[in-house]
Amino acid sequence: MTSSTTVVTGAGRGIGLAIAHELCARGHRLVITDVDGESAERAAAEVGGGAVGLEQNVREIESHRRIAAEAERLGPLSGWVNNAGVLFAGDAWTQTDDELAAIIDINVRGVMAGSAAAVDAMGRRGGAILNIASLSALGPIPGLALYAASKAAVLSYTTSLQGDLKHAGLPIRARALCPDVVGTAMVTDREKDEGAALLFSGPKPLSPDDIARTGVDLMESRKQIFRVVPRWRGALVRSTDLAPSVGLSALALMRRLGDRRQSKS
């Protein structure tokens, strides 16, 4: 009997690689993609369990259909994790044209194209899609405006997608994971960046392995559409919607705390 397959994008390292490990431990066969093909192949070898590593630039819409077809050749596609993402820090108006294009193409369009390819492949057979959003999807994040906006789009798209799937009668679960800061290279690489202070203003970064377990649990959930990790941070960020001027003042204090921590690192 041919086993089913699950695709994880941007899984050469970080959260994506941790999710691939967790999925493999639960019996999934993986197709791991990364813009760096060699990283994808190394990750597949590390994960084991017959995992395959493929080069993919998620900015290319057609690439998602190609990856879905490759996965289907290995076994029926039953899972898809849109994890690939980028982060740029700084005042919103200072981001370069290339950065603006990249964050929309990768964080937003890549998620939409990946989800569409997954739905087309799974069809009435069913399956699960996990989109990696962020705590920043829930409220204003000064210094990370483009990133926050892109992740808010991911969350909105995922919940709307679930509604479309239900309306169409397709047994596919669309889920969004919204973690606080996770201890990965995407974060540590911004340690000295102006505007990234809020990344370093809160508690100790979360473990990629813990986030991976939560994410796979969410994929398997029959009811919960999105999950914030930790929940208390989600409630704190959402409170800014009640009184934006007060919330932004509190965020300004946190940003200064982050600035001090950055200067000491």
Contacts of 264 (CB under 8 A, 6+ apart): none
Q: Which long-range contacts (CB under 8 A, 24 or more apart) does 213-216 make?
A: 213/22, 214/177, 214/179, 215/15, 215/19, 215/22, 215/81, 215/130, 215/132, 215/177, 216/19, 216/22, 216/23, 216/26, 216/130
On the CB side of 115, how many CA atoms lie within 13 Å of its CA? 27
Tokens of 149: 């906006």
Q: Is 204 a catalytic residue?
A: no
Q: Is 157 a catalytic residue?
A: no
**CA 122 to CA 172: how far, in whole Å?**
8
Element (H, E) at 254: helix 244-264
Q: Catalytic residue numbers?
A: 147, 151
